[in-house]
Structure 1
Amino acid sequence: MRFSVVACLIAAATASPLTPNSRNTKLQGRAFSIAQVTNAKFDNTETGLDARLYAYIKYNAVLPETLQVALQIGEHVNARYKSLMGRGMNKTRGQTGQVLAFPPRNLDIQYVVPVQIGQPQQTVFLNLDTGSGDLWTFSSETPQSQVQNQVLYSPDASDTSELQEGQSWNIRYGDGSGASGIVYTDRVSLGVTSFDAQAVESATRVSGAFTRDSFSSGILGLGFGRGNTVAPSQVKTYVENILPSLASPLFTSNLLAGRPGNYNFGYISPREHQGEIAYTNVSRQNAYWEISVDGVQVGRQGTFRPAADQLERVVVDTGTTLILVPDELVSEYYAEVRGARFAASWGGFVFPCASAMPDWYFGIGTYRGRVPGEYIRYNQVNDTHCFGGIQSSEGIGFNLFGATLLKAQLAVFDYVDVEGRETPRVGFANKRLLRFD
């Protein structure tokens, strides 16, 4: 299901929004929530194979043999992907952090937020993505042939826009698609916050994958500025710029299955999780919200399996859909699902839709984050079989926790740890799951 977003502003001092152990809280700081609402025009045509391929495209990763075979023999494969056959993708595996966003997809959830740019204000609708460090938008400088009803940002209509001479940006994806352009600074507002000199990347070229999505005008990256594609001088993200004005330097994602969720900035709502929040530090040298995970467990009565060596690199990404982990962990899960098998034409594990699905748990210290089995019943591939929400990460270079997991967890993206050092961390907490519990 696809969602747009409307801003629901929450005063920092109301409803005791900050958790008791919140630190470095500014009582006069800003805090606000952005709630998702359903896009009634959504047309769900994407498959599980599409969702897995998008992850490889996004991170410019090497296509494993299983996906190459699926591209060759799968009659259901979107024609767009046929260009990937035999190319193997870019051998950089995305580890430089230069490919941080990706063409909008159709399946499940797309996060769009109304953002005000310029003076007087112009409202554009941008995708939220923790796997991106860019803020870019269709603009009056985008060729008309590449625009399809997107809302456009017009730098010339803003009294506060300033062209950044010599600065440019260029996002390229593994399938050859991309976007590029020039850079302005301008006043940008989100919720109750604003920043007067935010870098706004104006698109002067976009590929057809973006043009076809008239619902979105671009990306608002929630990743780190060190992964920003602006050159020769990288810029900070919007969230990095507004951190000093927030009541607490963090944001949370509270995604839900089958209904609207929300993002909170500057506070953690105690109503959105159960029990304590388990934190683990991110890798400072990385462009993403990348963490390590200690192990996994299959089923409520299963035995916890230490797997820190296999899950040393896990990127928490609201902009991808599936849980992608090493082959061994994938096989161990589907060994507990009746009738599950690897389907070459789908490039992943499928199973009878009527099969009972065990819960899947990941561990950080003593914490066990639960993903209900029903959430892993991703979507149907035919009248009898379904595609699984846990699949292989082979060839990407790291693992991914996407929306399949994030719908079951409150995720906290925290820029400063409890001692006040500037070491970002990610927190997870279980929550009451509205759809299946």
Structure 2
Amino acid sequence: MTAMLPLPLLKRVRPSTWTALAWGAGMVFTFLMRLRLPGEEAATVMAGVVFYRWDGLVMMAAGTALALWGCGLLAHRPVAAMGRLLAASVVATTPLGVGEIPLAQFLAVDVALYVVAATRPRRTGLVALAMALGTLVGYLTVRLVCGWNVGTSAELAVAMTAAIAWLIGNSTHQAREYAEKSRVQEAAQAVTAERLRIAREMHDSVAHSIGIIALQAGAAARVIETQPVAAREALGSIETAGRETLAGLRRMLGALRQAEPELPEHAEGLAYGDSASLGPALGLADVERLAATTTAAGVRVEVRWHGERRPLPPEIDIAAYRIIQEAVTNVVRHAGTRSCRVSVDSRTDELSIEITDDGRWDGRWDGRGHGRSGKGQGWGLVGMRERAALLHGDFSAGPRPEGGFRVTARLPVPVGVGA
């Protein structure tokens, strides 16, 4: 069971709490501005007539009550919360005797604007911004109608802070939406890559097994009357290959039926990752067994190793084996020859593979992956080319000038691996 990391301390504070703290900070700043602090000859702002009277204090308390009410509604009813916070700013401004709503009384509104823009749909954020700007304009309009002085310049600065708070919140909202869409897209791509990997594994294993079965069946049919023992051995090989193929198909189909495959933390390597449902992965260590099985089926496979055999990254090891398997399968199915050669050259910085044969070739090759018989496009060469490309390697396949067919692949090996 994976333990969840605790959230950072500041992340644990609710947005409503931050808004309430902003209101409290604004109220404290309002009183400090009207007191003569140490080192000052006079208060920065002259207190209004009713500021220290009971009615002024009651209005301050009423504004605080409205603000706290709005903070409580912020999580569930953002528009209603904005209405109460704006009303609180107007009520708390009245006893100050100023011509505009000061920034200190609008600080909580700015915080709430950011929260609404960052966590709610864009339409809700725009409604909240319109309410805030409308309140500022309405406050100035009422004072102008009544013939009182107004602080237009200071109010424009307050309106600018509200717009900036909304812009920052909207940017946060867009970034979160983009991150979520990217996560969903990466998850979908990972699922698709996993299914494509399973499809490649199914093609490689089933095609090879069917080719062996076809060869063994043909051999058994030719000698069933003259050499019953050899025919019995061929039929036994057919049964074994058939059972292994069916078992592999069951595992792969079971993996494909999973509605939501469990995705790894990182998508890298998915194309060659080993799902537990697919059983152990095959690698270059299994090439000799592949050669023995194919040779027993009637097509002799000669394996030549060059360089030092050393451990390779799993994705390179699996891809190399599958390329060899598919190339040998094509020899069995299409070449019409009794032998082929596999060369594996393990160097410091790359792994080179070459599979050649002397089979028949009718010359119909366009270099784009068409089948060797020229009857259309098969998935074998496409799959091999894709495996090499996913590992940033090179792949080529085509007829040899002296006759036959050659498949080559170069897979880069990270420096220091297997050293």
Normalised-by-shorter TM-score class: under 0.3
Structure number with higher helix proportion = 2
TM-score by length of 2: 0.20
Structure number with higher strand proportion = 1
> Greater RCO between the two (CA within 8 Å, min separation 6)?
1
TM-score by length of 1: 0.19
